[in-house]
Amino acid sequence: AQSVTQLDSHVSVSEGTPVLLRCNYSSSYSPSLFWYVQHPNKGLQLLLKYTSAATLVKGINGFEAEFKKSETSFHLTKPSAHMSDAAEYFCVVSGFSGGYNKLIFGAGTRLAVHP
């Protein structure tokens, strides 16, 4: 079975400093992995996805994530935080269950950005 664990429920950074949101996954086969972002009172928006191509994936708004099979990790990073990055971030793995590929969501990490 597939699962995903987001290691921090809350992360707080200062504007202009790096962002690191940590995610570990469990999968019995080569997974597809995603990061979604949810701004307050909004729907979820795809930031980036990994589907067994390049292990370093670049997404929107300067975010990127690196797939590390040996560590079963897919951490999300950004070199310099902006106030508009404050949101909730979900790490997601695509898992085959019940006859189809469903998205399995982590519990989320709330990112706060301070001036």
By CB under 8 A, name the binding residues for other proteins. Answer: 31-32, 34, 36, 41-46, 49, 51-52, 90, 94, 96, 98-103, 105, 107-108
In this structure, are residues 52 and 69 in contact, taking their beta carbons and an 8 Å threshold?
no
Pick the closer one to other proteins by CB: 9 or 80.
9
Closest separation in Å from C-beta 41 to other proteins: 8
Residue 49 phi, psi (nearest 5)? -145, 150
Closest separation in Å from C-beta 16 to other proteins: 30
CA distance 22 to 27: 17
Pick the closer one to other proteins by CB: 73 or 90.
90
Closest separation in Å from C-beta 113 to other proteins: 21
Q: Distances in Å between the alpha carbon of 110 and those of 36, 39, 71?
A: 12, 10, 23
Q: Which of 112, 107, 48, 47 has its CA nearest to residue 84?
A: 112
Pick the closer one to other proteins by CB: 86 or 103.
103
Q: Give the SS3 label for residue 22.
A: coil
Closest separation in Å from C-beta 23 to other proteins: 15
